[in-house]
Every structure is written in structure tokens, then in C-alpha cells.
Amino acid sequence: MRRNHLYVRPARAEEADQFKEWSLANPKGNFDPAVAAYPSTITWCVYDEYGPIAYMPMQCPLMMESLAPRPGLSDIEKARAMKELTQQFVTQGHIQGAGEIYYLSSDPDTDKFATNQIFEELPYKIYRVRVRDLENGNA
């Protein structure tokens, strides 16, 4: 039995139409063509000796982590701080070429701030892998 080896490389410009066609043919993928155009996005291609078998864009969005307000800070002051931080992340997004900014929240009050501002709630589950956990048998 002969095994095909798989390899990964950046997608080539001449593969753009194929990438788009395959993305649109996968309705479960929720393809957003804008992602591939973000300056910080690299689209990867998995291929074998017969050619491409899959593409996947790797974007570099900015991730807003947990807010750490001063204990006792009023809700209005927290909202002002979040507004300023959000504006800073937007500026940083422009500088880095990040096309999206994500805010992970588990606090209903902060959720209200986010949805009352420029954020939209997404219907996705979030999964993560900590790269450091992949070493030394921690995975």
C-alpha cells in the first residue's frame, strides 16, 4: 500500500479562483471572502503529488482578553475604559493589518457593553490549543 504524503505551502495567486470555488462549495465553512483579503492573512494550501486538496486562510485578528478594572470602579467608568480600549484596538488593527477584533466575555454586564457598541455576537463555539501544552506530554 502506497501512502500519499501531504505537504503545506502558501496558496499561489493562480489558485485564488479554486480556493474561492471550494470555499463556496462548503456551506458549513461560513466562508467570508473578506478574510482572505486582510493584509495579515495567509492562505495555506495542503497538497499531495496530484495537487491541492484543501485551503485554509490563517488570519491574525486581535483578541481582547478579560477586562481587569480597578476594584470598586463604577459601571460608567468601566464602560469608559472599555470604550477607550476598544478604540486603541481598532487603531492597532489598522497598524497590524488585522481585519477583525474579537472580545471574549463571560460577564453579562460586559456583554451588554460589547453588543451596545460596535461588536456583533457570533454564533460560534470557540476552541483553543495552547502551544505550550503540546510539549512535554501535556497534550
Angle at which helices 108-116 and 75-96 pack, to 10 degrees? Answer: 60
Give the pLDDT score at 115.
79
Looking at the domain assignment, is residue 139 inside a domain? Answer: no
Looking at the domain assignment, is residue 138 inside a domain? Answer: no
Pair 52, 72 in one domain: no
The C-alpha cell that represents 81 in the structure block: 475604559
* Cross-strand bridge partners of residue 10: 44
User: How many structural domains is the chain composed of?
Assistant: 2
Q: Which amino acid is at 95?
A: I
pTM for this prediction: 0.79
| Distance in angstroms between the alpha carbons of the first and the last residue of the chain | 31
Pair 31, 47 in one domain: yes
Q: Are 46 and 52 in contact (CB under 8 A)?
A: yes
Chosen domain end from 58, 80, 99 = 58
Q: Which domain holds residue 47?
A: 7-58
pLDDT tens column, 64-111:
988 899 999 998 998 899 999 999 999 999 999 999 999 888 778 778
Other CB atoms within 10 A of residue 11 CB:
20
